[in-house]
Structure 1
């Protein structure tokens, strides 16, 4: 046997060939051992790494380590398509210059709670990484000019998380709606400078909008639903609503594809709006009306008669959900499989027993589930 065979056995194998071998290896232990074979194989392993994730930590020292490791890791892994940095509150714009060097390969960028990032840093990344598809700016101090640079540079943008970006206004959203015609999911929860009017004329590809604790206006809500493509809408805890109910606009014929609707803690929702939504959203599968105290017998009857596709309903702590409302669900909603009914004091023991006996296909839970619909993390993975 040639004594030099061990050191030259891969001499005729190209990087592409070794990458194919590496990708077929099952199990993290074997994958980690691949790079221990020799320096060449370690380099191939580094080329195969596509994702870099820094998680949140309870230890502040960890974030200082993140900041020191990031430049070296970006150099070590040149083919990254996904980068997620969490909790580095003092991460400066200068570090984004290194991320910019990932170029067109970078598809996903998440900057959770990176307070030190400014519009200038976001502009650098946007210009250098035009193929970004998913961007998370959760709690970042980004303003409309930064959002404009992102929208005008990254026309392939599909998923954008702006939750707690309190400096963003309708002007920035209008530029986003105009420039990015592939938008799929947008999160603006707790962005209280956005009324929703910027979504007017948005792409019909927009199917997921998370607007928890926002200040949408009736005109803004109308602009959101008129895109025609919404499948998921979260208006939980809608703040400072100045319309006379007005949520019936959701059922005006533009949200016929809607499957998940969260109106939790929208205490002003009336029977008229519930009736309109029940008739105008025939594909609705999950609906939260938790803590919606103004929904009464007429509203529950409309849900029972018109929500033919409804599978999950939340009525937690609804003061006016009573035996008659439960009867409407019992006699209608043939697809209903899960009912969250915590704290409904007007439902009697007899009414509940009759429902349980006649609708054994429905599971009734007395806990309070906060979220509705698909997990947002799946969209931004």
Structure 2
């Protein structure tokens, strides 16, 4: 009979695959951190298992010290699929050279507020990491040249955040629209150089567009919805709009899948646009019309008659919402669950109480500045 000791296997004899499984079974951060202290081999297993890195520059250290420290971390963790350098305001282009070592593994990259990064640095990353799916360049100094490189290098790109990238124009947006046929979400809020015409002919996969406080034109807005796949659209606070009551293009047949629409502070929006959108967006679930003063009785009637799936409606401080308009909402919108209403001076106490008694299941709330729909991460869960 063979002694049982002969069947015992030392932990150091376990293959790497088994050690990887053991490491991923560890639930506490303390245990995971202690794993690599056992021996050099276990440290290598721990390093290879690291999937994400959030690097924060030390303001007490020099730029060169931060670059060296980042280089050491990237050299140590070579299987990263997500890297965040957000807030590293003084990081130079040279710091991005090491990112290329992640190559085909890198899927997500955050460079928010990296003011020292230029198109040259970005080209190094984009060309060396073709599998990028999500890129955030919030407040970066990227230009159309950088976007063209991104579009040609990363055709599988799905999400991009370009908020406050003031050097961009429709030329760069057009490159993304043509080359990235899997693009699902884009944020261009406060990009005053973008009119929207670059979206013309965009992929039907584009489902999420955040364009708060932009300078979209009527043709640009039509281009933004031309793909036909939009489910979330935020064009609140449109600046320098010269199209009159010209948002009817949203409901002209391209946005039949639209579920969330934010028109807050679009004061020029009137009955024509509201009526067309109400009829042309049959699955609309949430609509923000706060501070849209030109919507009058016929507009509210169109919403009540056609928005059969509407669950949440924002009408804060709409000057021309009166008892008659509120009654139209009361008699229609049978799925309505929440009505954000504050500062509507033409709605009387009697009109409001009548609405509450007849639609007792609807929560009437007074909060303002409530965001429309889910966040970007929640939207794609």
How high is the TM-score relative to the length of structure 2?
0.93
1:81-117 Cα deviation digits (max 9, x unpaired): 0011111111111111111211000000010100111
Query: Is residue 203 of structure 1 aligned with residue 206 of structure 2?
Result: no
CA contact (8 A) 1:66 1:88 kept: no
User: 1:222 and 1:314 mapped to 2: Cα distance?
Assistant: 24
Q: How far apart, CA to CA, are the structure 2 residues paired with 1:103 and 1:306?
A: 50
Give structure 2 stretches of 5+ with no counterpart: 1-7
Shift of 1:312: 0.7
Distance 1:63 1:349 in 2: 63
Shift of the alpha carbon at 1:15?
2.0
In the alignment, is the contact (CA less than 8 A) between 1:131 and 1:157 conserved in 2?
yes
Number of the residue aligned with 1:340: 340
Change over 3 Å in CA distance of 1:359–1:150 after alignment to 2: same
- Could you tell me how far apart the structure 1 residues matched to 2:294 and 2:199 are? 28
What displacement does 1:261 show?
0.3
Relative to structure 1, the CA distance from residue 360 to residue 34 in structure 2 (aligned partners, 3 Å threshold; closer, same or farther) is farther
- 2:12 match: secondary structure: coil
Q: In the superposition, relative to structure 1, how do residues 275 and 61 fare at CA in structure 2: closer, same or farther (>3 Å)?
A: farther
Moved more, 247-256 or 32-41: 32-41
Query: Counterpart of 2:212?
Result: 212
Shift of 1:66: 5.8
Who is 2:272 aligned against?
A: 272
- 2:136 equivalent in structure 1: 136
Cα distance, 1:228 vs structure 2: 0.5
Contact residue 55 and residue 70 of structure 2 kept, 8 A: no
Aligned to 1:50: 51
Match of 1:354 in 2: 354
Alignment root-mean-square deviation, CA:
2.1
Cα contact 1:63–1:87 (8 A) shared by 2: no
Distance change >3 Å, CA 109–CA 63, structure 1 → 2? farther
User: What does 1:138-287 align with in structure 2 at a 5 Å threshold?
Assistant: 138-287=138-287
Determine if the alignment matches structure 1 residue 288 to structure 2 residue 288: yes
| Contact 1:159 1:380 survives alignment (8 Å) | no
| Segments of 4+ moved more than 3 angstroms | 59-69, 377-381
Structure 1: runs of 5 or more not aligned: 1-5
- Aligned residue number for residue 34 of structure 1: 35
Q: Give the C-alpha shift of residue 321 in structure 1.
A: 1.3
Shift of 1:309: 0.6
Aligned residues: 374
Q: Secondary structure at the match of 1:290?
A: coil
Deviation of 1:12 (Å): 2.3
1: CA distance, partners of 2:149 / 2:131? 14
State the match for 2:4 in structure 1: none
Other-structure match for 2:81: 81
Q: Tell me the CA shift for residue 63 of structure 1.
A: 9.7
TM normalised by structure 1 equals: 0.93
**C-alpha displacement at 1:370, in angstroms?**
3.3
Q: Distance in 2 between matches of 1:379 and 1:148?
A: 27
Q: In 2, Cα distance between the equivalents of 1:176 and 1:333?
A: 38
Distance 2:190 2:27 in 1: 42
Distance of 2:112 and 2:342 partners within structure 1 = 33
